[in-house]
């Protein structure tokens, strides 16, 4: 039995008549990293902006991106998400505080792990402006001291 279809979406776009443009991060993007560090000074709940990603089409790789956080109060949950943004066609993408991590149990122990979402190998974000990647701690308090690190690995046009 033959493999169906026989070519990737990117190859089909290159061979289309007329030729279609393949988005550069899909084909030959530059791999970038952005790191955010938050030093806790008191226990609490809420949201913090960690990293600002630039405008343009980005492929975010959750398996290569990381969250590092000391233990919080028992039952504390950590979320990783993004702010709202506008796509080039004018569509508005709503903020999603669970886009990259939902209810990570930081109250059960310190976290040093790859992002848990999405399950796909990459997340496409195409924005006409900058987009913040945020963390939120809810249900119970954050750590009272220590450092949280958020590392985002993504491809963008060269």
Distance of alpha carbon 40 from alpha carbon 44, whole angstroms: 9
What's the pLDDT score for residue 16?
75
Check residue 25 and give its pLDDT.
66
CATH number of 26-156: 2.60.120
Domains in the chain: boundaries: 26-156
Q: Is 47 left (phi over 0), alpha (psi -120 to 50) or beta?
A: beta
Task: Give the rounded percent of residues in the chain with a pLDDT score beyond 70.
Answer: 94
> What percentage of the chain has pLDDT greater than the value 90?
80
Tokens of 152: 């985002």
Q: What is the distance, to the nearest Å, from the Cα of residue 71 to the centroid of all Cα atoms in its chain?
A: 22
What's the CA gap between 46 and 24, in Å, rounded?
36
Q: What is the pLDDT of residue 19?
A: 64
The conformational region for residue 146 under phi > 0 = left, psi -120 to 50 = alpha, else beta, is left
Would you state the pLDDT for residue 10? 74
- Residues in a beta bridge with 137: 46, 78
Give the separation between CA 46 and CA 149, rounded to whole angstroms. 16
pLDDT of residue 150 exceeding 80, the answer is yes
pLDDT of residue 1: 61
Write out pLDDT tens, residues 100-135. 999 999 999 999 999 999 999 999 999 999 999 999
pLDDT value at residue 22: 66
Mean pLDDT, the chain, whole residue set: 91
In tens, the pLDDT along 13-24 reads: 777 777 666 666
Is the distance from CB of 80 to CB of 134 less than 8 angstroms?
yes
Q: What's the pTM?
A: 0.86
Tokens of 45: 């709940």
DSSP assignment string, 11-48: HHHHHSSSPPPPPHHHHHPEEEEEEEEEEE-S---EEE
Enter the tokens of residue 51.
């990293």
Q: Residue 76: what pLDDT?
A: 94
User: How many other CB atoms sit within 10 Å of the CB of residue 42?
Assistant: 9
pLDDT band (50, 70, 90) for residue 36: very high
What average pLDDT score do residues 75-89 get? 96
- CA–CA gap between residue 124 and residue 57 (Å, rounded): 7
Given a cut of 80, is residue 158 above it in pLDDT? Answer: no
Nearest-5° Cα angle at 156, 53 to 8 = 135
């Amino acid at each position: 039995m033959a493999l169906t279809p026989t070519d990737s979406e990117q190859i089909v776009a290159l061979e289309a008549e007329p030729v279609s443009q393949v988005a550069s991060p899909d084909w030959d993007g530059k791999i970038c990293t952005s790191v955010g560090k938050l030093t806790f000074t008191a226990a609490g709940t809420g949201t913090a902006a960690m990293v600002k990603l630039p405008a343009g089409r980005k492929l975010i790789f959750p398996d290569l991106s990381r969250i590092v956080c000391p233990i919080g109060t028992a039952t504390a949950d950590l979320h990783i998400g993004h702010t709202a943004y506008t796509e080039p066609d004018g569509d508005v993408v709503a903020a999603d505080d669970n886009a990259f991590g939902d209810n990570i149990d930081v109250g059960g122990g310190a976290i040093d792990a790859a992002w848990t979402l999405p399950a796909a190998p990459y997340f496409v974000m195409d924005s006409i402006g900058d987009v913040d990647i945020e963390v939120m701690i809810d249900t119970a308090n954050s750590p009272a001291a220590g450092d949280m690190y958020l590392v985002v690995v993504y491809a963008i046009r060269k």
